[in-house]
Amino acid sequence: MDGRIDILTLFPEMFDVFNYSIIGRAREKGILNINTVNIREYTKDKHKKVDDYPYGGGAGMVMSVQPIVDCIRAVKKLNKGRIIFLGPKGKTFNQKMAKELSKERELVFLCGHYEGIDERAYKYIDMEVSLGDFVLTGGESACIPIVDSICRMIPGVLKSEQSYEDESFYNGLLEYPQYTRPEYFESERVPEVLLSGHHENIRKWRRLQSILITMEKRPDILKKTKLSKEDMKLLNNYIENNI
C-alpha cells in the first residue's frame, strides 16, 4: 500500500501515537499517509451531538446514522478504499489479515463508540473487524494496534523485510529468543551458537527455538502450523538429545 489511510473517529487526538517512533518517521518521509477525520464535524445537530437513545429502550447511547454516513461519503471522495468498522461482531484480526490489508492502496477505518452504531449504517461498511473477544470503551483502542500492524509491513516502513518476517505470528510460529550485549549478564551467557558466526547453524537454532516456544506457550497455534521435513528433523534431534 502506498496510498492513504483515513480514520473516522470521535476522538482524533487518540491517534497522536502515530506521530512517533517508526510510524511517525514513515509519515515524515511520505511513506505513510494517515489522516484522522472527526465524525462530529458531519453531524447536523446544532449541539454537535452524534449519539442518541436507542429505540425500544436499553442502557447507553447509540451512534447516529446521519453523521456516520455523511462522514463516510465525504471521505470516499478522496479515499476509494474499503470501509472497515471496528466492532465486536467482526472477524477477529490476525497477522494473516494484516498482511492482506497491507497490500491495499487505500483503507478507511470507522471507530464505533458508546453502545454501537445505528444498524442502518452497516450498508455503507465493507468489513467488520474485532480485536478479540473482549469489550473496549471504543473502536479507537482497537484501531491503533490494527493500523500499526498493517503499516509496519508496508515497504519502506521498516528497514528490511527481515524485520517483520522473523516476528511472532508472521510465519505461523512465535518468535525465537533475542539477545544483545553484554555477552555475560550475572550467571547467564548468550547461547554459544549465536556467537559462532555460522549463519546456517544460527538459522536452524532460531527455527527450533520458535517451534519449542510455540509448543510451550501457544500449542493451539502449533496445531494449525504445517511443519516442514527440516522442522521435524530439528525437533526429533532435540528430543533425542534431551531425553
Q: Does residue 154 contact residue 164 with C-beta atoms inside 8 Å?
A: no
One-letter amino acid at 35 equals N
85 is in an annotated binding site: no
What gap in Å lies between CA 188 and CA 62, rounded to an integer? 55
17 is in an annotated binding site: no
169 is in an annotated binding site: no
45 is in an annotated binding site: no
Q: Return the closest-CA partner of residue 37 out of 125, 119, 109, 113.
A: 109
190 is in an annotated binding site: no
Write out the E strands in the chain.
4-9, 34-38, 51-52, 62-63, 82-92, 106-111, 127-130, 184-185, 188-189
132 is in an annotated binding site: yes
Question: 139-151 vs 21-28: helix axis angle to the nearest 10?
Answer: 70
What gap in Å lies between CA 3 and CA 34, rounded to an integer? 9
- Concatenating the DSSP letter of every residue in 11-58 gives -GGGGGGGGSHHHHHHHHTTS--EEEEEGGGG---TT---EEPPTT--
135 is in an annotated binding site: yes
What gap in Å lies between CA 73 and CA 50, rounded to an integer? 16
DSSP 236: H
Q: From the annotation, which residues make up the binding site?
A: 112, 131-136
- Residues comprising the binding site for S-adenosyl-L-methionine? 112, 131-136
